[in-house]
């Protein structure tokens, strides 16, 4: 079943990955290049796999990607992007320092040994957080290592990719690691880890602008 092709084609007619589309199996058949009957079967299979959600809308139906469908598309985009990202390429972006919600220390503790295995550093107990003026792109294509999801203390923890980054502020530069969770609600924020307190290393406070250069691996 060509789920990747179907999801990618469907996503192109959405205003955003989180929006819905009032459509018909006839329209989807034209989109996917199949008959109306085959489109109906494909749609049922996508729904059964938990990739889309559909609801009646008059004589048509409202179809939307589920969180699982969005995640699958994001992973596909990440894998394809890696194919076209050469070693040595980089991306630059500027963000403002913010104070996190206090969850960083907890998650660093849970992922601690895995972060060390992936980066070779023992992370400072907390993350360094930056907020951007608009949602940031998925930098997974720059990832040099991946921490697979796991269970601990009765909780599930998701997959996290890790990329090398250089943080700069007023002449100070510090090499750190960008954490790229597979799923996040904070699309306008990035989190970094380092063996020391990055605020002190960069000499920054909330609101200060920091330039980030994410390095290809």
**95-129 per-position pLDDT tens digit:** 999 997 777 788 888 899 999 999 999 999 889 99
- Euclidean distance between the first and final Cα of the chain, in Å? 33
pTM over 0.85: no
* 77-91 average pLDDT score: 62
Which domains, ranges and CATH numbers included, belong to the chain?
Answer: 3-74 (1.10.10.10), 87-215 (2.40.30.30)
Query: Could you tell me the pLDDT band of residue 216, with boundaries at 50, 70 and 90?
Result: low
Q: Could you give the angle at which helices 36-48 and 25-32 cross, rounded to 10 degrees?
A: 90
Does the pLDDT of residue 139 top 90, yes or no? no
State the Cα–Cα distance between residues 89 and 84, nearest whole angstrom. 10
Query: Could you tell me the pLDDT band of residue 2, with boundaries at 50, 70 and 90?
Result: low
pLDDT at 162: 93
Give the pair of three-digit tokens for residue 25.
């199996």
Does the pLDDT of residue 82 top 70, yes or no? no
pLDDT at 79: 67
């Amino acid at each position: 079943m060509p789920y990747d092709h179907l999801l990618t084609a469907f996503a192109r007619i959405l205003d955003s990955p989180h929006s819905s589309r009032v459509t018909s199996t006839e329209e989807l058949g034209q989109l996917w290049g199949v008959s109306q009957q085959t489109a109906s079967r494909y749609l049922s299979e996508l729904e059964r796999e938990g990739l889309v959600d559909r609801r009646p809308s008059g004589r048509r139906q409202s179809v939307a990607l589920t969180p699982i469908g969005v995640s699958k598309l994001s992973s596909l985009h990440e894998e394809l992007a890696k194919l076209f990202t050469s070693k040595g390429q980089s991306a630059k972006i500027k963000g403002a320092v913010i104070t996190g919600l206090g969850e960083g220390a907890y998650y660093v503790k849970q992922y601690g040994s895995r972060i060390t295995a992936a980066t070779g550093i023992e992370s400072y107990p907390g993350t360094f957080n930056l907020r951007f003026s608009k949602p940031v792109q998925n930098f997974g294509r720059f990832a040099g290592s991946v921490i697979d999801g796991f269970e601990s203390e009765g909780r599930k923890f998701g997959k996290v990719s890790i990329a090398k980054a250089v943080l700069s502020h007023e002449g100070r530069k510090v090499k750190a690691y960008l954490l790229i969770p597979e799923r996040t609600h904070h699309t306008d924020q990035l989190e970094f880890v380092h063996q020391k307190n990055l605020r002190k290393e960069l000499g920054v406070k909330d609101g200060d602008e920091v330039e980030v250069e994410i390095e290809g691996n």
